[in-house]
Amino acid sequence: MSAITNDRAAWLKAGTAVCSNPPLKAPAKAWRLVLLGAPGVGKGTQAELLHERLGACHLSTGDVFRAAKSLPDGQRSPAMSHALDFMRRGDLVPDQTVLDMVSERLRCLHCSGGFLLDGFPRTVVQAKALEKLMQQEDVALSAVLNYDLPMEEIVSRISGRRTCSQCKAVYHIVSRPPRTENVCDSCGGKLFQREDDRPESVRVRMAAYEKSTRPLIQFYQERDLLVPIVAGGTPEETFQRTMVALEGILAD
């Protein structure tokens, strides 16, 4: 049964914002999960499927960054405004600003339905800070799901993307092709391949991701929280592997 749609206002806006449909009754097991995985592994789709099955709220830091851009100045939390300053300059948002942003949203860590943290933590510094924060709040992670896919499969997935030059809709030449080649179904705009979706660009990004994420994976391995998930095949097949892994945790 699908979970009721939630606007995640407490996460996206912080402050006194209240979610439209908070859990009325805690599930038998409130899962608190961190989702790891390189771009192209389908992590966002898995988060949607896990939300539908488990009821856990999808807490994506990327969504907060996007919300920061659209909210009026008076509605942005201090950390969101600070993060936006870095983003406007094209700089990476520093660890401390990301941590401040999460700290503004402590209520979400206590959500009775559980949570799916996506995009945070990205570094060991952030992971240690999250660990300390959760200890202070007397909540604990259930597991860290690491979605893994061979490099060439990731390159194939991302390099097959095509973006509409007008409405920015995204297609894939294999898994989601337009009805007419190189023409957007929605607005008739011309489709193009973004520079960072080209195979050579993808390989550079993946090498950087693996280098930066390796210490984070080791951090969670040492805490016996890491659960590797093969992300190959269809999203449904990956989801079934995820659920089998979570059932294994319950059985331990």
Give me the active site residues, please.
Answer: 43, 122, 161, 194, 205
3-state secondary structure 16-35: CCCCCCCCCCCCCCCCEEEE
25 in Cβ contact with 14 (< 8 Å): no
- Rounded to whole angstroms, how far apart are CA atoms 244 and 238? 10
Contacts of 57 (CB under 8 A, 6+ apart): 6, 8, 11, 19, 51, 108, 111, 113, 114, 115, 116
Neighbours of 109 (CB within 10 A): 19
Say how many Å lie between the first and final Cα of the chain, rounded. Answer: 26
Neighbours of 53 (CB within 10 A): 16
Axis-axis angle for helices 199-222, 124-137 (nearest 10): 40
The sign one gets for the Cα dihedral 163, 174, 207, 117 is positive
